[in-house]
Amino acid sequence: MAFIQGRTLYFAGYGLTLIFVVLFLLLIGWAVPYERRMRVASLWPKFMATSWLRLATGVKIEVIGQNKLPNKPFVAVCNHQSEWETLFLASLLCPSAIVMKEALLRIPVYGWGQRFLKPIAIDRGSPRAAIRAIVSQGTTRLEEGINVLIFPEGTRVNAGEIKKYARTAFKLAIDNQVPLVPIVHNSGTIWGKKKFVRGTIKIVIGDSLGKNTSQSADQMTTEVERWTRETLAAM
């Protein structure tokens, strides 16, 4: 019962604080330089994914390999199990552009605020157009010194599972000669589609694949997907 109440408390705090973040972006975000805007905005997801989560529900976070993050810019790929990783990585990889559905940007207030953070917006209904958008917008973000975060499974997956990785993120890294950082976590065991239980979310940051790699996008995709499956299974 106490945990259920904590879960309710968490989402109540989530909604209330999100209002203030969006208002900040809408009212003065346009007047603040992008990097400073991102630094301020990233405080909210960090608080929600760590401090507030633990305070409200008792859920703990364990990060392994944070020192492996390379000098920016880089492309990061991560498995996708819940909303937690979108929050946590937005702060950890800041400044970063996340690939998200274009439809989310049309949501009143929330979507307007998101536009100030320069996400990579795609139309999932048109796969080929989505790939072109990721490559085009992703290249622009990297040139601006902004990291790019992509969930190559394309959708949320059940805890303990890894869906086949798409190669777009790997092609983006190779074409722009930037490091590719693999990340894996087990958030679905704590914050799943239909459950929310007390425990510890573990997230592992792997060795980056060098920007001067001779691997093809297909080879890199296979290697990272295998590492992700093996690391997740060992958690």
pTM above 0.85, yes or no: yes
Q: How many CB atoms lie within 10 A of CB 26?
A: 14
Q: pLDDT tens digits for 1-46? A: 444 577 788 989 998 998 888 888 778 877 888 888 888 889 999 9
Q: pLDDT tens digits for 71-92? A: 889 999 999 999 999 999 999 9
Structure tokens at 203: 């997230």
CATH number assigned to the domain with residue range 2-234, chosen from the 4 options 3.30.70, 3.10.110, 1.10.3470, 3.40.1130: 3.40.1130
Kindly provide the b/e burial profile for residues 201-229, where b requires at least 16 CB atoms within 10 angstroms of the residue's own CB: bbbbbbebbeeebeeebeebbebbbebbe
Q: Assess contact for 200 and 61: CB atoms under 8 A.
A: yes
Instruction: Specify the amino acid at residue 227.
Output: W
Sequence-distant (6+) residues with CB within 8 A of 93 are 69, 76, 147, 149
